[in-house]
Amino acid sequence: MDNPARFVLLVPLLRSLFCLLLLWPIGAGAQPSLDSLRQRLATTPSDTSRVLLLNHLCWQTSTRNVTQALAYGQQGLALARQLRFGLGEVYLLNALARAAFLQHDELAAIRYYQQAVRRAEAEPRTDRQLMLALLGLSRVAIQQQDFAEGEKYGRLALAHLQRRRPVSLPDQGLSQYSLASLYYGWLRSGQSAPDSIDRLCTYYTRQTLATFRRLPPDTNLASCFGDMGKVHALHRQYDSAEYCFHESLRLYQRFGDRFGQTETRLSLAEVLLARHRPAEAEVLLRPAVAWASQLKATGLEAQGDQLLAAALAETGQGLAAYRLAHTGQALLDSLQSAERRETLARLRVQFDTERQQSRVRELTQRTQHQQQQAARQRQYLWLLGGLLLAVAGGLGVAGLLAWRLRLSRALLANQNAELQATRTEQDRLYALIAHDLRSPVIAFTALADLLKRYVERQETARLLGLGERMRQAAEGLRGLLDNLLSWALTQRGELTPQPEPIAAATLLAEAAELYQPGAEAADVHLTVDPAATGHILADRNMTRTILRNLISNALRATPPGGCIALTAGPAATGQLGLSVRDTGVGMDAGQVQRLLAESPVAYPAGRRSPAGLGWRLSQAFARAQGGRLSLVSAPEQGTTVLLTLPSAVGVPVAPSAPHFA
């Protein structure tokens, strides 16, 4: 490697390296023999299985008969497109690109790889094939010594691989190996490169070796050892390089890979020559040159002739060395010049053809566009005169109609919203009235049945006891009618509060006295807190109605043996609170929230709801007086309702009758 002239061997060396790399995607596992694949092809119908079989044949024959491989690949590609088998199409495009690359047709390889990338990006379940196509574009760019372009495609393939989960070890090693080969070729080319190329080459070579060491030994691991040896040789670490080459050669021999053995012998011979051991190098090189000739690997054969000539020259065999050097240089020159002429000719034809096609397409599109514009202009000229007159008058009318339409829609929307709200409130009110009327009507029905039964049985004692119960039912019905009348007046705005200072203890005592008989009959203990003090500034009748409704609700919710306590005391600043606390069944948090929001409340069977018309009327009366109702309750723990009203501190107490507007 010390001789700069040896860098001319880069092209054939890289070609042999990439030919080996191209074998990797199908290298895992045992492959069927070609004879068995051809037999299966004769009996396989024209479906997707035949496409996959042709893909296998294209891959396996590309290193033996490229012409036959291309025929298999083109037949499979045509069938895949006919069947609209996108996955098979991507497979065949990659296989054809590989075969074209082995035939030194970089132009065709680029075209196939580009088609594979575009097709894989539009087809699901082709992630791995997309990665292989990107690596193929990288290989072609490296072959043309466009290392920056090769690095771009190599890193795209690695990034695409890292987005896949999970990542298979062979695919990971393949991407790492591609980048290691790229940076190795860049180092050997002598082109200007970033300072990090040397470090990246070593890094990816070691990563590749570490990856394939985790897999069963195969030719991939042998290639990694060979690349690692080349990196050590670049840094003049000849002991490490020799060790890696021997490991690579041992694995190639184990798996019977003659191509790999040839390449490794050439690389090991370079190290031996650098260490001035020409005799050992000659022993390695003679069979390697013969194998390269048998494999028709012209690049490897030229490199072997050059190295063998150097070994013979060091041992004093100058004439033989001269002949071999001349032969190797002739092979290399013919190979390189033929490749250059063929590639340049294809590139020129491609460029001229694409340019002419682009020009024809551009002129055709321009002509069609001009014709369409001319046709549209003629139509515009015929229509413009009439449209101008129609538009002038129509714009004004349309604007006026649109304005009126917007006003009508807005008005209609407002009316619909008001009507809907009124209907909703009306339905809720009907439900509340029906609910509240049901209880006293049922009570009177039951009393009528009892009265009839006692008369028929002549049970005079029980008949006398019905009077009190009928009075209580009548009182409940009268209270409901009072609530209905008050509610109607509040909705019409005819009932306005007349606030006056009222002693809280007096209001509570009056309410307790009114419901004391009912409480005793229900076996409920109704009490007034003796410590209740203070005066409120409120409407006397409205406040009495609120207290009656709250105590009535408490009596219905409290079981026999329970208690109802009426208390009064300061609330917030400038407020006085009147509370009704019972030990009844209570309510959960959702029921309390819906009750305060005046929404319907569902109760279990056997429990009466306090959310009737009386509760709504109480809330309305409290708001009308500048106060509010609040409620605290829990299941089986009773309920406490607090009526908060303005305090009458500093206002002289003077009785006043309610005023109805």
- Give the pLDDT confidence score for residue 198 in this predicted structure: 78
What 84-88 contacts at long range (C-beta under 8 Å, 24+ apart), as own/partner pairs, is 85/48, 85/51, 86/119, 86/122, 86/123, 86/126, 87/123, 87/125, 87/126, 87/129, 88/48, 88/51, 88/52, 88/55
**Integer Cα distance of 624 and 14 in angstroms:** 96
Of 54-68, 395-409, 621-635, where does mean pLDDT reach its minimum? Answer: 54-68
- Give the pLDDT confidence score for residue 420 in this predicted structure: 83
154 pLDDT exceeds 50?
yes
Of 30-34, 274-278, 418-422, where does mean pLDDT reach its minimum? Answer: 30-34
For 641, the enclosing helix (H) or strand (E) is strand 639-646
DSSP secondary structure letter of residue 24: G
16 pLDDT exceeds 80?
no
More confident residue, 183 or 576: 576
- Give the pLDDT confidence score for residue 428 in this predicted structure: 60
Tell me which range, 34-48, 67-81, 187-201, 320-334, is most confidently predicted by mean pLDDT: 67-81
| Mean pLDDT score, 190-198 | 76
Q: Annotate 608-639 with DSSP letters as a single string.
A: --S-SHHHHHHHHHHHHTT-EEEEEE-TTS-E
Mean pLDDT (the chain, rounded): 77
Q: For 495-646, CATH number?
A: 3.30.565.10
- Give the pLDDT confidence score for residue 177 in this predicted structure: 73
- Give the pLDDT confidence score for residue 605 in this predicted structure: 40
CB-neighbour burial class of residue 598 (10 A; exposed 0-12, middle 13-18, buried 19+): middle
Report pLDDT digits (tens) over 559-569: 999 999 999 98
- Give the pLDDT confidence score for residue 77 in this predicted structure: 93
- Give the pLDDT confidence score for residue 378 in this predicted structure: 83
* Residue carrying structure tokens 């070593």: 202
- Give the pLDDT confidence score for residue 146 in this predicted structure: 79
Given pLDDT bands bounded at 50, 70 and 90, which one contains residue 6? very low
| Mean pLDDT score, 59-87 | 86
**Integer Cα distance of 521 and 528 in angstroms:** 18
Given pLDDT bands bounded at 50, 70 and 90, which one contains residue 437? low
343 pLDDT exceeds 60?
no
- Nearest CA-CA partner of 583 in 610, 564, 607, 605: 564
Given pLDDT bands bounded at 50, 70 and 90, which one contains residue 489? low
- Give the pLDDT confidence score for residue 485 in this predicted structure: 65
- Tell me the CA distances in angstroms from 616 to 15, 425, 468, 587, one per residue in order: 93, 12, 29, 17
For 537, the enclosing helix (H) or strand (E) is strand 535-538
More confident residue, 16 or 498: 498
Given pLDDT bands bounded at 50, 70 and 90, which one contains residue 292? confident
435 pLDDT exceeds 70?
no
Question: Which tokens go with 598?
Answer: 């005046």
- Give the pLDDT confidence score for residue 19 in this predicted structure: 40
Question: Which tokens go with 611?
Answer: 């959310």
603 pLDDT exceeds 50?
no
- Give the pLDDT confidence score for residue 187 in this predicted structure: 76
Given pLDDT bands bounded at 50, 70 and 90, which one contains residue 59? confident
- Nearest CA-CA partner of 140 in 177, 92, 106: 106
More confident residue, 182 or 27: 182
Report the helix count and the strand count for the chain, using DSSP H and E. 21, 7
Cross-strand bridge partners of residue 569: 577
Contact 82, 54 (CB under 8 A): no
More confident residue, 267 or 347: 267
Give first-to-last CA distance, the chain, whole Å: 116
171: Cα within 13 Å, side-chain hemisphere: 20
More confident residue, 586 or 103: 586
Tell me which range, 169-178, 415-424, 566-575, is most confidently predicted by mean pLDDT: 566-575
Q: Annotate 370-409 with DSSP letters as a single string.
A: HHHHHHHHHHHHHHHHHHHHHHHHHHHHHHHHHHHHHHHH
Q: What percent of the chain has pLDDT over 70?
A: 76
Report pLDDT digits (tens) over 104-153: 677 788 888 888 888 888 888 788 888 888 888 888 887 777 788 888 88
- Give the pLDDT confidence score for residue 604 in this predicted structure: 44
* Residue carrying structure tokens 């390269």: 292
3-class SS at 532? coil
- Give the pLDDT confidence score for residue 339 in this predicted structure: 55
- Give the pLDDT confidence score for residue 354 in this predicted structure: 55
The ranges assigned to domains in the chain are: 495-646
More confident residue, 434 or 505: 505
3-class SS at 251? helix
Report pLDDT digits (tens) over 638-655: 899 999 999 877 666 555
- Give the pLDDT confidence score for residue 294 in this predicted structure: 77
Rg, C-alpha atoms of the chain: 51
